[in-house]
Amino acid sequence: MCRRAAPRFRKALSYGAYDGALRELIHLFKYNRVKPAGRLLGSLLEEAVAGTGLPDSVLLIPVPLWRNKRHTRGFNQAEAIARAFASLKPSGSIQLDTSSLARTRETASQTGLTRHQRRANVRGAFAVIKPEKIRGRSILLVDDVMTTGTTVNECSRVLLRAGAKEVFVATVARATKEVGSELAMTAAHGGVQGHA
């Protein structure tokens, strides 16, 4: 199973487990719009990525939201975290790109879906709009939480197909309760690092 469904991304990094205070902080930001929490989440992401050997020049791309969800929520939490992360880096060392990757259709919530249902749910839900900007580049794909990795894997697939050199994933949190053996499986493929 692991060989058949090997992740498209090279490595996934997370600051910590999606529970306790970290989960509460993400919820305050994402659902209660406590905007100052975004800067803190960006700094936690920076801490997770620091010293991991990522290429010096990466293109930072947040996982896009469907336009209706973005309108309802008022912002894209992945984009806000990516902006906070980028602001902590030396000027010019990292480029934020919020226009090359787009969500092309609405998807159902991934909560409660099986691994197969999650893959079917996001298949074809993302597209690269500006392939010339990502061609030959190392990409750092950013999201708030990674559960099974299905969403970031689909984003990675379309980025690589459009000519990206490689894709790394960075999230603030990694859901561990739902994942079980999938965490070990992904780690076996160059996968997941985290900070407690």
Distance of alpha carbon 94 from its chain centroid, rounded? 16
Rounded CA gap, 20 and 150, in Å? Answer: 23
What is d(CA 69, CA 2) in angstroms, rounded to the nearest whole number?
A: 33
pLDDT for the residue 82: 96
pLDDT band at 90 (very low <50, low <70, confident <90, very high): confident
Say which residue, 172 or 54, is predicted with more confidence: 172
Average pLDDT, the chain: 85
Ordered by where they begin, the domains of the chain are 11-188 (3.40.50)
pTM equals: 0.83
What is the rounded average pLDDT of the residues 44-64? Answer: 91
173 - beta bridge partners? Answer: 16, 145
Q: What is the mean pLDDT of residues 3-31?
A: 89
Does the pLDDT of residue 5 top 70, yes or no? no
- Each residue's pLDDT tens digit, 23-52: 999 999 999 999 899 999 999 999 999 888
Instruction: For residues 100 and 127, give the distance between their C-alpha atoms in angstroms, rounded to a whole number.
Output: 8
User: pLDDT tier at 4 (50, 70, 90 boundaries)?
Assistant: low
The b-or-e profile of 58-74 (16+ CB within 10 A means b, else e) is bbbbbbbbbeeeeeeee
Per-residue confidence band for 180, with pLDDT thresholds at 50, 70 and 90? very low
CA-to-CA distance for 196 and 191, rounded, in angstroms? 16
> Which of 7, 32, 22, 44 minimizes the C-alpha distance to 151?
7
**Lookup result for tokens 């969800």:** 69
What pLDDT shows up at residue 181? 38
Least trusted range by pLDDT, from 63-67, 164-168, 190-194: 190-194
78 and 63 in contact (C-beta within 8 Å)? yes
Looking at residue 48, its pLDDT comes to 93
**Position 190 pLDDT exceeds 90:** no
